[in-house]
Structure 1
């Protein structure tokens, strides 16, 4: 991608396909559960437990995708397409090796992992089957994440969106045949759902790889599949590992908060699930704007457009705050109808409405983090957000959740107070960091020969 094409990138053109793609990935994760609910409650529980394990594994190999997205964008902005191509190819090879090892571990030790989690005996068989099949081929998801990150960094966000749509169609259609057995076909249940998940991902990866080669094959040297350049790998790890560590820390802190909520009772657990599932859609706006901004700022930093990058971060933040706040207000006023879709329990609906009300305060703070952390990462400033994030997650979110939720007996409202304090504290610190412009000296551009 040359400088002229880089200038044609816009936040809107990048963001709306990312928004739809992320939403479809979330839906794809729920399609199996939704369709299996018409088949067996035990099957839903088995797949749910297996997916909890798989989500942690996906975070572990997401570090390469996080690193390559920044490095490719910066080198394209610096008009170094060959270097960007080398990094892209090396990242695919690196993530393939790493994810294959994790796939092998999941395939060999799925029963042991499930026993460690004290899975009820009636769920063990189906959970093990699903984990064996989907976990054994989880390396395909690692490759999808990596190729998608590369394509988005080149600005081809529509391509990844269309492939995600196709993957959803294949998965849903396949699930229908596997679960309901139309036209007298045999019913395969969880095993069939697992195979369809694997097949849809494999098809998606092949198409994404073909698109990548078609779009930019001349700048993708195959020798970089096995001939790594030390500086490129160091830069990938320097950006990716802290990002993965932050994600793992977040998941761990949420597990601890779940333990607190479990002490409150089943009603509180159910309410949290319904409200947080609703909030996922609110987060999509800020997530998509943050990822689109990361691509733009990465290109700008590579091109040495520091002032433009700074202004882009500020402008994107303002857009995300306005959109997320208005969306949160809309969700509150339509909240009762939304919650009644899930349940007719008036206690759950009443608690859920209270949480949706305070979510209006929460979402702007979350917008600060999702946009500015992506902006800082695009500029190569990865350590500060991670350190602040881990300290705040455990020192504020978890601590406040216990103090207000358990000790002061405010229940889920206390947990949400912890969320609000965590998001706003981090958001303010990220804003100060962005305004300080410390990040201007962190560009990952290497001098290369024959560029």
Structure 2
């Protein structure tokens, strides 16, 4: 196969993708360890934390949209070796992320019960989730700022630094969760509240280490305040023109995912807990995909920024082929090994185990179309600057196809949660069918700098 003969492409891809994949593996491991610890507290606690984190998921995907948009600019400025502009983009991304974080933090602190009531009807789940939300909300702003620097580091060829920072965060989070959830070292057992406090501590440690790593040496991102906020009206206008479709797309897409969770929650506490457990497992399988998509964004953006559009197109085709092969391989493993992966959650009852097992099989069978779509939209279209088309495709498929199917399956047909998940996956299939003609047309190649 031709792509495996391109040594320069493979070397560049692996240099970016592997550290990002390892960082995502560490992050996913944090979520898995959290879920494993919380699973020992019972099904209700699993459901409560899972639903409370839907609010965080909505927030962090908006932040992801802001920083995905910034990475498009940074990648192209990196291709042009324009350091001052990279610093301005970073400052704008940090400012926007922090402002959004402030809104979500205040909302979660003041209205945790209202948020939980919107998400689920179970009174005990609402009570436990509200307690968790009040505490974990304090981690939102440091998470956003740290994430902005992490994306910028990866995009400017320093993916190992965020990976190491994530490892420190993982150790910190796991240690404090264990101590605070179960009451070790003479401290009281705090249960779900302990999990929230452990997350807050880990996030503040993470942002502290991030600033140290960036400013210890005088690197590309070690800008002073003046450099970070040296935007003018034209710069902000140009930035927002490209990034607002990404921000709106991520916000609307993540809200759609929250609606899926609400639909699943209509099927009961057990279905909610099963989705939380299986999503935790699937996220581990998805780490290589995120690495691939991020490498795609950086490499394509850099080639377009340097004026080599033919190579950008060639890279796009290579990445789509890799995503197909990777999706098939990982999906097959996931569908074939539910009994193995669920052994980690030995404390759950038999009924929850069976629902989770069937859901994992369905997730595995539909995994390849999710991988192909994610690489096409996040990697190729956004990396090429075609953010508006990517936004329309991403958001339209979720809200026109996915969300209606989720509620039809859950409320009208009263399907098991794994069948609801299966029919919702049709939106991913439609997305894949529409992506390839766009990529082959080359209309997605846009030099925005």
- Residue from 393, 397, 406 that aligns with 1:392: 397
The aligned residue for residue 369 of structure 1 is 373
When residues 106 and 236 of structure 1 are mapped into structure 2, their CA distance, relative to the original with a 3 A threshold, is farther
Contact 1:46–1:127 (Cα < 8 Å) also in 2: yes
Greater shift after overlay, 298-307 or 121-130?
Answer: 121-130
C-alpha separation in 2, matches of 1:43 and 1:350: 17
Q: Secondary structure at the match of 2:448?
A: coil
Residue in structure 2 matching 1:134, options 133, 136, 160: 136
* Contact preservation (8 Å) 1:133, 1:195: yes
Residue by residue over 1:259-287, the C-alpha shift from the partner in whole angstroms, topping out at 9 and shown as x without a partner, is 55556666665655554444333333322
Tell me the TM-score normalized by structure 1.
0.84
Q: Which residue of the partner structure matches residue 303 of structure 2? A: 300
CA-to-aligned-CA distance 1:142-190 (integer Å, 9 cap, x gap): 1011011110111111110110011010111112222333343444444
C-alpha distance in 2, partners of 1:79/1:227?
18
Superposed CA RMSD in Å reads: 3.4
Which position in structure 2 is the counterpart of 1:424? 429
Rate the CA distance shift 1:222–1:272 in 2: closer, same or farther, 3 A: closer
What aligned pairs does 1:157-176 form with structure 2 within 5 A after superposition?
Answer: 157-176=159-178
- Do 1:283 and 1:324's aligned partners in 2 also have CA atoms closer than 8 Å? no
2:182 is the alignment partner of 1:177: no
1:314 match: 317
Structure 1 position 53, deviation (Å): 1.9
Shift, 1:434, TM fit: 1.1
1:228 partner SS: coil
Q: Deviations over 1:233-271 (max 9, x none)?
A: 234433433223333333343444445555666666565
- Answer whether contact 1:324 1:367 (CA < 8 A) is retained: yes
Instruction: State which of 32, 35, 56 in structure 1 corresponds to 2:34.
Output: 32
Shift in alpha-carbon separation, 1:181–1:408, aligned structure 2, 3 A: closer
Equivalent pairs counted in the alignment come to: 438
Which residue is equivalent to 1:230?
A: 233
Q: Report the Cα distance in structure 1 between the residues aligned to 2:355 and 2:83, rounded to whole angstroms.
A: 55
Quote how far apart the aligned CAs of 1:23 are. Answer: 2.3
Bigger mean CA offset, 197-206 vs 121-130: 121-130
Q: Give the 3 Å change call, closer, same or farther, for CA 78–225 of structure 1 in structure 2.
A: closer
Aligned-residue offset at 1:220: 2.6
2:288 maps to which residue? 285
CA 1:179/1:312 → structure 2, altered by over 3 Å: closer, same or farther? same
Shift of 1:79: 2.1
Distance 1:8 1:43, change over 3 A: closer
Equivalent residue number for residue 448 of structure 1: none
Name the CA shift for 1:219/1:76 in 2 (closer, same or farther; >3 Å): farther
Q: Could you tell which deviates more after superposition, 289-298 or 185-194?
A: 185-194
Q: TM-score, normalised by structure 2?
A: 0.84
Gaps of 5+ in 1: 1-5, 446-451
In the alignment, is the contact (CA less than 8 A) between 2:43 and 2:269 conserved in 1?
Answer: no
The change in CA–CA distance for 1:355 and 1:399 in structure 2 (over 3 A counts) is: farther
- Please, which runs of 5 or more residues in structure 2 have no aligned partner? 1-7
1:327 corresponds in structure 2 to 330
